[in-house]
Structure 1
Amino acid sequence: MYEEKLLPRHPPVFQEWFRRVFSDPYGWYQARSAYIRTTAVMSMVGYILGLGDRHGENISFDSTNGDSVHVDFNCLFNKGESFEWPERVPFRLTHNMEAAMGPLKHEGMFRKSCEAVMRALRAQTAALMSVIGPFVYDPLVSWGRARPMDCGERTNEQALQHLIHIRQRLNGLVSTV
């Protein structure tokens, strides 16, 4: 139904925006490349951190250089999995976004950029985990269901589980639950 009914009624138009806004060939190529690379970075970082709630209003595009700019980071640490309609995708990549990547779509520069980002994140796992670790102890971070803390308890078990999941994703382990 998606391919037969919806796609013909809603064809991708984002690639036309790139052609219209960046009319000279060099500018178009630079902007499209910046879009692909920044989308790959945010897709991989978002996947590792469990960033959810990615929709058209939370992903913006810089009309001066083509960069993909994400906003609203309230749905971190796989919070989207606990929604009434749980999120099931690791990051947002619509047919419209993919069409703007050119004829190779996600198999070209996007894939190569994702691979480079994951190599960089894996190489810096210790540094990344040292930045994320303090969130376990932050009383302002919501980790899901509220429960009273014991006087001596300084961490949240759910927060520790999220850190384990982040480390697993960095190591290439994917949870299918």
Structure 2
Amino acid sequence: MNILIDQATAEVVHIDLGVAFEQGLMLKTPVPFRLTRDIIDGMGVTGVEGVFRRCCEKTLSVMRTNKEALLTIIEVFIHDPLYKWALSPLKALQRQKESDDDLETSLEGTEGEYEGNKDAARALMRVKQKLDGYEGGEMRSVHGQVQQLIQDAIDPERLCLMFAGWGAWL
């Protein structure tokens, strides 16, 4: 649904930034992103242990090397009045419900109680921590940080809770 595929190169780009800056962790079932079996199967026989992991590690390494430029670009979002930084609990629940239905329901006015600049500053600080290698309060290598992200994204305990048809008795 939220993936753009270049028909000439087969390059895949995620185009839904609605839960960027760890807003996916605000959902009822918090996940950094969903790395389901269907997505992993599409990666071929190596799954997450092949090109995917190497690309993640290389990307994170390049981002760490250029973190000052990246943070400068992200800092512009703090002053953008059109970007909504806060994901209210109501909006989070609605987004999680809509993710399977591909609905575009707007909940205008539900985020008025959230202060955008504080949320933006928090998000910017968290991005800086990630670029410095801090994950879960611990300093991690590029490999360790990618490993943790992948483990969180494929955790069956989280993924099964997100599947609407899940029945523990099956």
TM-score by length of 1: 0.55
- Residue 129 of structure 1 is aligned with which of 56, 65, 71? 71
Query: Contact (CA 8 Å) 2:79, 2:117: kept in 1 or not?
Result: yes
Q: Which amino acid aligns with 2:62?
A: A
Pick the aligned partner of 2:124 from 140, 144, 163.
163
Residue equivalent to 2:23: 79
Whether 2:112 is the aligned partner of 1:146: answer yes
Offset, 1:162: 0.7
Segments of 5+ residues of structure 2 without an aligned counterpart are: 87-110, 138-170
Task: Write the mapping of 1:50-65 to structure 2, written as runs, cut at 5 A.
Answer: 57-65=1-9
Question: After superposition, what is the alpha-carbon deviation per residue over 1:84-112, rounded to whole angstroms, capped at 9, x for unaligned?
Answer: x24x2222322122122222211111111
Question: 1:174 maps to which residue?
Answer: 135
- The code of the aligned residue for 1:124 comes to N
What amino acid is the match of 1:146? G
- Hey, what does 1:90 align to over in structure 2? 32
Instruction: Indicate how the Cα distance of structure 1 residues 69 and 160 shifts in structure 2: closer, same or farther if over 3 A, else same.
Output: same
Q: How many angstroms apart in 1 are the aligned matches of 2:5 and 2:118?
A: 37
- Which of 24, 46, 51 is matched with 1:104 structurally? 46
- What secondary structure does 1:160 align onto? helix
* Matched AA of 1:123: T
The CA deviation at 1:148 is: 8.4
Per-residue Cα deviation, 1:37-69 (whole angstroms, up to 9, x for no partner): xxxxxxxxxxxxxxxxxxxx1023334322112
User: What is the distance in 2 between the residues matched to 1:102 and 1:143?
Assistant: 36
- State the shift of 1:174 in Å: 2.0
Pairs aligned (count): 113
SS at match of 1:72: coil
Paired residues of 2:75 and 2:124 also in contact (CA < 8 A) = yes
Partner Cα separation in structure 1 for residue 26 and residue 114 of structure 2: 20
Q: What secondary structure is seen at the aligned counterpart in 2 of 1:130?
A: helix
Unaligned 5+ segments in structure 1 are: 1-56, 150-154
Q: Quote the Cα distance in structure 2 between the aligned partners of 1:100 and 1:76.
A: 23
Matched with 1:40 is: none
* Percent identity of equivalent pairs: 33
How far, CA to CA, are the matches of 1:81 and 1:92 in structure 2? 11
Offset of residue 82 of structure 1: 3.3
Structure 1 distance, partners of 2:16, 2:32, is: 17
Higher RCO by CA contacts (8 Å cutoff, separation 6 or greater): 2
CA–CA separation in structure 2 for the residues paired with 1:148 and 1:93: 30
